[in-house]
Structure 1
Amino acid sequence: MKKVLILAYDFPPYNSIGAQRPYSWYKYFKEFGLYPIVVTRHWDNHILNPIDYCKASTQRNIQCETDEYGTIYRVPHTPNMRDRLLIQFGITRFSVLRKILTAWYMFTEYFFPYFDAKYGIYTQANAVCLQHDISYIIASGEPFLLFSYAHKLSKKHSIPWIADYRDGWSTNYNNTKIETLFFNKIERKIISTASHITTVSPEFVEQFHAISNKQVHLILNGFFEDTPLADIQQDSSQFVISFAGTLYPYQEIELFAHATTLLPQEIQKNIYIQWIGLNFYMDQKQRVFTLFSKNASTYIQHIFTPRIPHEKVFELLQKSSILLLPASANHAQLYAKIFDYLRVHRTILLFPSDNGTLSHIITHTQSGIICNNSTEIAQALERLYAEWKSKGFVSCNSHNIAQYSRKEQTKKVVEIITTI
């Protein structure tokens, strides 16, 4: 059985979309005839906020685990000076100094291992290549330092590698002009040596093709179809609406907030909104809190949770009657949360239409409602509330979702790998 080295920074027990993607390869590769070996950071179980994310691993030695799926090497994490300042003094103090250090690390970590806090992953991956007969390497970014590691390992050991983009690198919307120019040159050099490129969203395909002049394969995120769901019904005592995961600045949650002010008071008093995991993103939590405090109904109840285990997320989603999917007409992006939403068969409320992949999935699976303004959202909420009030639940007759399972997407990855 040929061996695949997977370089992944995010990986369970760390709970993120970025961790689930490489874990799905680890879980299913063996079923399709490949043996996965993962090199990742050692993660502790208590990552509840950005400061926890930066802390040193409690385990200080490299751990090797082998189970029915494959082998995992977990490399201890040691925070750099910037992160030590954050851990010791909090997010408000020394912010200018931390920004200076962030810029310093950005310009040096690709060239000098001393300034690369993740370099232990490269060192262990190199040891794996020396110890095992590795046939392929796949690196999932960001962090895009993993692409650099895969590039070096490929050149050193003559092993083909695949670049898996979960987001933009030089094209990331968060980049400054200087960052875009700096990363563009590095990205083009590194990506030129990749045998294949994969990405998570149709909206990224042309973007990465333009950078690499290579074919870019679409591998969606998906959901774990073989993970059992608890038998949990919708809450019949409250009209529960939920949002799970990351909220980006360009997602137009303002449309929904305004829509709630257009609802009759009876409906407002029965709405209970769960913001699942938003405590991890304090700036966006504050955005939502401020938005609803100033511009929306004061009758609506809100609860914000920290990051919680994936199975607990599903339980909260199952109790919900509506799942919120704010989008942007000007910034098309395929949010991975849509696949977890599909998994629990609850009505999805997409707003506004992205005129792209999200709208296509909602329409193709008949899994929800697409609205373009606050008035349409309010009208949809009134209809759904009337159904919930009458029956104690909101019907969702979604179908055609099997193609979005993580196993099906992993099968596509294997087909790409075995063409090398």
Structure 2
Amino acid sequence: MRKKVLIITYYWPPAGGPGVQRWLKFVKYLPDFKAEPIVFVPENPNYPIIDKSLETEVASDLKVIKFPISEPYKFASWFSKEKSSTISKGIISENKRQSMVEKLMLFVRGNFFIPDARVGWVKPSTKFLLKYILENNIKTVITTGPPHSVHLIGLHLRRKLGIKWLADFRDPWTTIGYHKQLKLTKASQKKHKNLEKQVLSNADQIIVTSTVTKKEFQGITGQPIEVITNGYDDEVSEKVEMDSKFTLSHIGSLLSKRNPDILWGILSKLIADIDGFKDDFQLNLVGFVSENVLQSLNNYNLSNYVNKVGYVSHKESVTYQKKSQLLLLIEIDSEDTKCIIPGKLFEYMVSNRPIVAVGPKGSDVERILKETNTGNYFNYTESDSLKKTILEHYKAYKNNTLKSHPIGLQKYHRKALTQSLSQLL
């Protein structure tokens, strides 16, 4: 007999972006491990990104409960539709570029909606689920955030019903980069910290996506913490033809702070110094790109080499990964981003294309790339070695020998990761 597991999440198809992928895949494979997932999601969410192609991955027999949500972003759009949309995506301008409207919206978002703008969903959802859980004899609940307000639903259910509760953190809470940009008062900062500690101290099991986050949370709670990373799945796609140009492709958002001048400078120099490079080179940017990044590319005279694709469906992004000569992974150079392992990393690793990553020294991404032999990782001071590696890849491209040689990827398959999850249930 399968064990019923209630999964409470904000992001669910037709939501696009990386936030939806993790639990869409866990839910897909949980029935293979004697679990019956039941998914609880908002009925009328204000998703910043839509990808209807993901709806085809939801099993027809899966029980999905939808419950209404009221979100302030809908009202905020009356003042500035553009700023409301970008803030809801986590895209925040640099302080010196912020308008008064954006500053006000950030202050209100950070201090009046704690822990986040979906907090209004907590009380009505808890009231509904208290009855539903009892009527359906559910013993285990999983919450996944961000948004971390979802964890508050789990906290209330745990206290009132004594059910087993697993709290899954796809990102940290109070140490994530954008948290520091919310113009929080000291009282608001204290409230965030208090809520974070309550969740971490009351969940029966905490799940995180990186070892760095695990170490951080171990300083707050003595509850058991398990690392279950994101991963890759078997993607059904037509055979793709490799790009004829020497394409470097970045899949996903390139925000203002994720702007690697070190890389742009190297590419500009290679165009000037290496025969044939300027005729072969193309930079594919697949996803949202900030104006700051585009301006930097222009400053390095790279604009004519940029193919700005914009946001595409998940299926299309996989095609771009497989046909590109090189895949770029860029992270902000910060202590706070060492724990960030982009979901796309694992799809990159099974695309059979070499990865070039730039980020903070000592990150989890660096460890995974070395462990799987899927690419090279550089911090922001390693200009010479980064240039050397790109040039080596270019020579391999010219000799038609450019490819990756991965090892030990199977443990990152979504089914293997779901098996690890099932053992915690």
How does the TM-score come out when normalised to structure 1? 0.83
Corresponding position of 1:297:
302
Corresponding position of 1:416:
424
Structure 1 residue 70 displacement after superposition: 3.0
Structure 1 residue 389 displacement after superposition: 2.3
Q: 1:133 aligns with which of 115, 137, 141?
A: 137
Deviates more, 1:100-109 or 1:313-322: 100-109
CA contact (8 A) 1:243 1:325 kept: yes
Corresponding position of 2:377:
370
Aligned residue type for 1:186: L
Matched, 1:349 2:356: yes
SS of residue paired to 1:262: helix
Matched, 1:206 2:211: no
Corresponding position of 1:316:
320
Matched, 1:79 2:71: yes
Q: 1:394 aligns with which of 395, 402, 410?
A: 402
Q: 1:384 aligns with which of 393, 397, 402?
A: 393
1:38-77, aligned counterparts within 5 Å?
38-42=39-43, 67=59, 70-77=62-69
> Would you identify which runs of 4 or more consecutive aligned residues in structure 1 move more than 6 Å?
none
CA contact (8 A) 1:260 1:296 kept: no
Q: State the Cα deviation string for residues 218-253 of structure 1 (Å, max 9, x = none).
A: 0101111x33232113112x2211111234555462
State how many pairs are aligned. 390
Corresponding position of 2:338:
332
Q: 1:291 to 1:108 in 2, by over 3 A?
A: closer
Deviates more, 1:116-125 or 1:184-193: 116-125
Structure 1 residue 14 displacement after superposition: 0.9
Superposition RMSD on alpha carbons, in Å? 2.9
Q: In 2, distance between residues paired with 1:67 and 1:124?
A: 24
% same residue:
20
Q: 1:298 to 1:269 in 2, by over 3 A?
A: farther
SS of residue paired to 2:168: strand
Q: In 2, distance between residues paired with 1:124 and 1:13?
A: 23
Q: In 1, distance between residues paired with 2:158 and 2:75?
A: 33
1:92-107, aligned counterparts within 5 Å?
94-107=101-114
1:200-349, aligned counterparts within 5 Å?
200-224=209-233, 226-236=234-244, 238-247=245-254, 251=258, 253-265=260-272, 266-279=276-289, 285-306=290-311, 308-327=312-331, 328=333, 330=335, 331-333=337-339, 334-349=341-356
Q: 1:67 to 1:123 in 2, by over 3 A?
A: farther
Q: 1:153 to 1:329 in 2, by over 3 A?
A: closer
SS of residue paired to 1:214: coil
Q: 1:248 to 1:91 in 2, by over 3 A?
A: closer
Corresponding position of 1:62:
none
Deviates more, 1:22-31 or 1:171-180: 171-180
Deviates more, 1:162-171 or 1:193-202: 162-171
Q: In 1, distance between residues paired with 2:127 and 2:164?
A: 18
Q: 1:96 to 1:254 in 2, by over 3 A?
A: closer
SS of residue paired to 1:174: helix
SS of residue paired to 1:140: strand
Q: 1:371 to 1:192 in 2, by over 3 A?
A: closer
Structure 1 residue 43 displacement after superposition: 6.5
Q: State the Cα deviation string for residues 337-364 of structure 1 (Å, max 9, x = none).
A: 2111012111101225633422222122
Q: 1:109 to 1:166 in 2, by over 3 A?
A: closer
Matched, 1:20 2:21: yes
Q: In 2, distance between residues paired with 1:47 and 1:274?
A: 25
Aligned residue type for 1:75: F
Structure 1 residue 72 displacement after superposition: 1.0
How does the TM-score come out when normalised to structure 2? 0.83
CA contact (8 A) 1:5 1:134 kept: yes
Corresponding position of 2:7:
6
Q: 1:272 to 1:88 in 2, by over 3 A?
A: same
Q: In 2, distance between residues paired with 1:256 and 1:87?
A: 39
Q: In 1, distance between residues paired with 2:131 and 2:292?
A: 46
Q: 1:210 to 1:11 in 2, by over 3 A?
A: same
SS of residue paired to 1:192: helix
CA contact (8 A) 1:257 1:296 kept: no
Corresponding position of 1:61:
none
Q: In 1, distance between residues paired with 2:131 and 2:278?
A: 59
Aligned residue type for 1:324: L
CA contact (8 A) 1:270 1:300 kept: no
1:92-171, aligned counterparts within 5 Å?
94-107=101-114, 116-117=120-121, 119-171=123-175
Q: 1:400 to 1:100 in 2, by over 3 A?
A: closer
Q: Give ranges in structure 1 of 5+ residues lacking alignment.
A: 54-65, 280-284
Q: 1:286 to 1:127 in 2, by over 3 A?
A: farther
CA contact (8 A) 2:15 2:47 kept: yes
Structure 1 residue 68 displacement after superposition: 5.6
Corresponding position of 1:182:
191
Aligned residue type for 1:212: T
Q: In 2, distance between residues paired with 1:203 and 1:256?
A: 26
